[in-house]
Amino acid sequence: MRHDIVIRGGLVVDGTGSPPVAADVAIDGDRVTAIGEIEDPGRREIDARGKYVTPGFVDIHTHLDAQLGWDPIASSSCYHGITSIVLGNCGVTFAPCKPEDRGYLAELMESVEDIPRESILTGLPWNWETYGEYLDALDALPKGVNVGGMVGHCAVRYHAMGERSLDEEPAGADDIARMCELVDEAVANGALGFSTSRTFLHRVPDGRPVPGTYAHPEELLAFGRVLGKRGGIFEAAARLGARDAPHLPNTRREVAWLGELSRENGVNVTFGLAHSERRETLYQSVIDFVGEENAAGARIRPQTTSRGIGALFGLQNRPPFSSPAWQALGSLSLDERLARLADAKERRRLVEEVDPAAVAFDLDRLYVLLPGHVRYDMNPDDSLAAHARRRGVSPVEAFIDLSLETDGRAVCYHAFLNPRMDTVEAMLRQPVVAMGLADSGAHVGQIMDASQPPWRRADWVR
Residue 272, pLDDT above cutoff 90: yes
Residue 340, pLDDT above cutoff 90: yes
- Measured in residues, the chain has a length of 462
Residue 343, pLDDT above cutoff 70: yes
Segment 387-433, tens digit of pLDDT: 999 999 999 999 999 999 999 999 999 988 898 899 999 999 999 99
Of 105-119, 122-136, 327-341, 432-446, where does mean pLDDT reach its minimum?
Answer: 432-446
Residue 201, pLDDT above cutoff 70: yes
Of 11-20, 99-108, 425-434, where does mean pLDDT reach its minimum?
Answer: 11-20
- Average pLDDT of the chain is 94
CATH number of 58-308+422-461: 3.20.20.140
Segment 121-135, tens digit of pLDDT: 999 999 999 999 999
According to the model, what pLDDT value does residue 58 have? 94
Mean pLDDT, residues 79-107 taken together:
97
* Residue of 173, 180, 196 whose CA lies nearest to 228: 180
Residue 171, pLDDT above cutoff 70: yes
**Rounded distance between C-alpha atoms, residue 246 and residue 385, angstroms:** 31
The boundaries of every CATH 2.30.40.10 domain in the chain are 3-55
Residue 228, pLDDT above cutoff 80: yes
According to the model, what pLDDT value does residue 416 have? 85
Could you tell me which residue, 373 or 205, shows the higher pLDDT?
Answer: 205
According to the model, what pLDDT value does residue 375 have? 77
The pLDDT confidence band at residue 15, using thresholds 50, 70 and 90, is confident
Count CB neighbours of 292 within 10 A: 13
Residue 1, pLDDT above cutoff 90: no
Residue 335, pLDDT above cutoff 80: yes
pTM above 0.85, yes or no: yes
Pick the CATH number of 3-55 from 2.30.40.10, 3.50.50.60, 3.90.1300.10, 2.60.120.260: 2.30.40.10
Residue 360, pLDDT above cutoff 90: no
Residue 176, pLDDT above cutoff 70: yes
According to the model, what pLDDT value does residue 98 have? 98
Mean pLDDT, residues 288-303 taken together:
98
The boundaries of every CATH 3.20.20.140 domain in the chain are 58-308+422-461
Segment 32-42, tens digit of pLDDT: 999 999 999 99
According to the model, what pLDDT value does residue 242 have? 65
Q: Are 187 and 230 in contact (CB under 8 A)?
A: yes
State the Cα torsion 37-41-46-47 to the nearest 10°: 50
Residue 8, pLDDT above cutoff 80: yes
